[in-house]
Homo-oligomer: A and B are copies of this chain.
Amino acid sequence: MTSPLRVLGVDPGLTRCGVGVVDVSRDRSARLVHVGVVRSDPELPIEQRLATIAAGLRAVVAEHRPDVVAVERVFSQHNRSTVMGTAQASGIALLVAAEHGLAAATHTPSEVKAAVTGYGAADKLQVQTMVARVLRLDALPKPADAADALALALCHAWRGGAAAAARTTLTPAQQAWAAAERTGRR
């Protein structure tokens, strides 16, 4: 009997940071554990916003105890005005993982789309529809940040299927190293 892999997906953002926790079994079936959004007040100084994000993510980790944290990879060519804040929030998510002794991984948006829908250029509605179907939700997950976080968590579990299978024989430290090696240099 293999216990499911519990993945925390994080769609990083300063104003809204999507978080989704799913349990994924070896047969790829998945169950929703938690979904939500960590928000920070745009009126606050940046350092207090990042501390708010960190506290929110730590609370999710403490409550739901994921095995691994998957964070959306941020690109500098996304030349939105928010990209630096998004990158900073992603750094906070990765730090929170490390501070809890959890392995972390990053996945690109097209990796997530391909893993969840089979199509790397899928639109948001296609991704949300598939996430809702897989998790047997009555409605599309909202807001979009939360849906993206769930998709990211599913992507991570499905792409690392072999690792999930290996969890019965590896120690947590071995699992963490295996996960780090799989995701390679990010």
A90 at the interface (CB under 8 A from B): yes
Question: Please, which residue of chain B has its CB at the minimum distance from the CB of A14?
Answer: B91
Query: On chain A, which size bracket covers the interface?
Result: 20 to 34
> Interface-forming stretch among A69-77, A130-138, A154-162?
A69-77
The prevalent SS among residues of A at the interface is helix
Q: Determine the chain B residues whose CB is within 8 A of the CB of A94 once the complex forms.
A: 46-47, 50, 88
Q: In the docked arrangement, what's the CA distance between A91 and B83, Å? A: 12
Residues of A participating in the B interface, judged by any CB pair closer than 8 Å: 45-48, 50-51, 54, 69, 74-79, 83-84, 87-92, 94-95, 97-99, 102-104, 106, 180, 183, 186
Could you pull out 25 A-B pairs where Cβ atoms are within 8 angstroms? A45-B104, A45-B180, A45-B183, A45-B186, A46-B186, A47-B69, A47-B102, A48-B98, A50-B91, A50-B94, A50-B95, A50-B98, A51-B98, A51-B99, A54-B95, A54-B99, A76-B79, A76-B84, A83-B87, A84-B87, A88-B94, A89-B91, A91-B91, A92-B92, A92-B95
